[in-house]
Structure formats: C-alpha cells, structure tokens
Structure 1
C-alpha cells in the first residue's frame, strides 16, 4: 500500500483518502475472477433497484464470508491491502479510533462498465433507514481508463480518473454525493463496497 496525494485544488479537506494497492497484480486477478464467473454476473442494482437509467453496469455481488472460499484468494489479498489503507485513514483522522473497532466490511461488488455505461445519478451511499449502518464507502479501480469513466464528487467539483490500483475511502454521507461519468472507450472495472458499523 502506497499513499497517494491527489491534486484537489482548494477543496480541502474533503476526507477522501487515496492510496495505490500493492502488488498491483491483485487488480488483474480480480478482473479475471469477474470474467471467468459469467453465471454470477447480473445487471447492476442501486438503492432504487434495477434501473439502467440510473445505474448501467454488470455486477457480481459478494458477502464477506465468501472471501474464505476456495478460488477467492484474490479477495483475501485485496482486503488485506484495503485494511492497510483504512488503518492509514484512521491515523490521519484520529477521532475514528473511537469507533474503528465497531466497524466491519459489508457486502461488496465487482463491477464492469462498457462504453456508454455509467452510474448516471448523483447519489450518496447513506440515504435511507436501510443504509444508516454505512459509515464509509471504498472503491478500487482495477484498470486504467483513458476516455471517460471518471468519478465525480459534485460538492467538491472533484473528478477522479480511474487508474489501476487507485483506492479511495470516503464518508458515506450526503457530503460526498457522487456519480460515475460516462465511459467512452474500453472497459472499466472496479471493486466497491461499504464499511459498516454494527
């Protein structure tokens, strides 16, 4: 895990942590898992259900207990790295030490976007009684994207272009409303999910 400093202009602090996971080959292993498991792929759901007018993607949804299953070794490696990123995040925002032992990973998604697809609607990860347990969101871009496909945080006018291994953690609140900009070329793969309080 290597800490990354994003060029954020004058919109600081924005509480978006950024790192590059290592080894970078974890990203390739996760993409391979996605492509080899066609039967698990489904059209992407959002908080409003299945609606490609809001979220247009193909997802594999998994639970933390799935990480230990045979053939899922890449997920164990990934979450070991994500935990290192999270520990660094807590070091930066020490107040989080008061709640960090009450947090756990929830369900998570592997997602693929093709040209013309994206998460079209500005949204937040904590928006209803059903999502009150979400404290943070996390996302790792699994490949480089040259044309489109950026993540846009509207309140900060911040656009982040996908780079292989770039990992973000941010608060799940309305303060971090965001969307995915339209992918213009190639494919975009991510792994994303939530850190929940229990």
Structure 2
C-alpha cells in the first residue's frame, strides 16, 4: 500500500482559539482559590489521584455551584468565556450548525509550584465517558516566570502562560497536549470543558 497525498492548500489552521480576558478577573479568581485551601486536592483526575500524570493542586467546582454567592466570580468568568466562544463560532461557523448551545462541565482552578506539570500527553476526549466533551478551555491566571508552557505536539506549538490568555480547542485526539515543567514562580489556571447538552 502506498500513501497518497491530497492537493495541498495554504490553509493550515490548528483550531486553537486565543483571547485575552480582563486582568482583574484573573486576580480575583486567584484570591478566591487561595482563600479556599480546604477545597484544594492534589493530583485529582476522573480516575482518582494520579500524581505521576497530573501534579497540580486543584479546586473542582460543578456548574450548579456557580449559583452560590461565594462563587460569583466564576459566573463573571464564564460570561467572558462565552464571549470567546461566540467569537470562536464566528471563526468556525459550522460549529453553530451542529449544536445551538453547549453546557459547562465540572471545571478546575489549579496551581502549579516549581517542578510540577501535567506531564502526560493527553487529550480531553478519551473514551465513552468523555464523548460529550466538544471543546476544552483554559485561562492562564498569571504571568509565569520560567517554564510551565503548554505544548500541543501535533502542531509543535508551545504556548507560554500569560495572564489572561484564554484558549479554546477541540477535545479530540488531534489536540493532544501536555504541560511543561514549571521552573520558577507559580502557575495558576482555570480549565474545563464545553460539552454537548444532556
């Protein structure tokens, strides 16, 4: 069998959208995170504690917790994220043809210390239990001193954390990625998924 090449075009999108959200919003999320140390868990994944894959301290919240008065900052965050999503739909209008709205799944606010990273290359849709995930989102909540970039291996794309930088990308295997080791300072993120409605 011989591999066949299709005609090439000069269009080479990676389908990773990026925007900058308000700096003050990032500060308020970090403050909320630090005030709630009792809710922070190390290395928590859907499959349990996996420090060898995910070495990060997270607070996990569900969409219904957005209604609690102490979590109002996250409602404000998702209003900003929705503006990013609307612009993503302008860039890729077919998305709006297959789904008229998306839900927010559980989401994480995470903190990395030097030496930590999400070392396993992974994608966000990995089996039947995650088929409902359509897009992943992540916002870097602070500037990072050294290291801590996000690497999308299929695109050889290394994204340096900058305060407020917000990413949306397909949850599929085509967007496998990992976090590089944080070398200095701290790294805060908020991350999760936009899912098909249930």
TM value normalised by structure 1 = 0.92
For 2:95 and 2:24, locate their aligned partners in 1 and report how far apart those are by CA, in whole Å: 30
Match of 1:137 in 2: 136
Structure 2 residue aligned with 1:13: 13
Task: Write the deviation string for residues 129-148 of structure 1: whole angstroms up to 9, x where unpaired.
Answer: 11010000000000000200
Corresponding residue number in structure 1 for 2:127: 128
- SS of match in other structure, 2:134: strand
Alpha-carbon offset, residue 46 of structure 1: 2.9
Shift of 1:74: 1.1
Deviation at 1:47, TM superposition (A): 4.6
Residue equivalent to 1:45: 44
Instruction: Map Cα deviations across residues 37-93 of structure 1 (whole Å, 9 max, x no partner).
Output: 011000122354311111100000001111121121211111000000000000110
Q: Which residue of structure 2 lines up, in the alignment, with residue 152 of structure 1? A: 151
- Equivalent residue of 1:192, what SS? strand
Q: C-alpha separation between the residues in 1 aligned to 2:75 and 2:126? A: 29
Q: Are residues 1:69 and 2:68 paired?
A: yes
Query: In structure 2, how many angstroms separate the alpha carbons of the residues matched to 1:19 and 1:192?
Result: 14
CA distance in 1, matches of 2:61, 2:47: 19
Q: Deviations over 1:117-160 (max 9, x none)?
A: 00000000000111010000000000000200000000000000
Contact 1:57 1:119 in 2 (8 A): yes
Q: Distance in 2 between matches of 1:11 and 1:182?
A: 32
Shift of 1:11: 9.1
Distance 1:161 1:190 in 2: 12
Contact 1:43 1:59 in 2 (8 A): yes
Aligned to 2:3: none
Return structure 1 stretches of 4+ with deviation > 3 angstroms: none
Distance 1:159 1:112 in 2: 19
Q: Which stretch shifts more, 171-180 or 40-49?
A: 40-49
- Work out the number of aligned pairs and report it: 188
For structure 2, list consecutive stretches of 5 or more residues without a partner in the other structure.
1-9
Deviation at 1:103, TM superposition (A): 1.4
Corresponding residue of 1:6: none
3-state SS of 1:25 partner = helix
- What's the counterpart of residue 85 of structure 2? 86
| TM-score, normalising length: structure 2 | 0.92
Cα 1:29/1:103, change in 2 over 3 Å: same
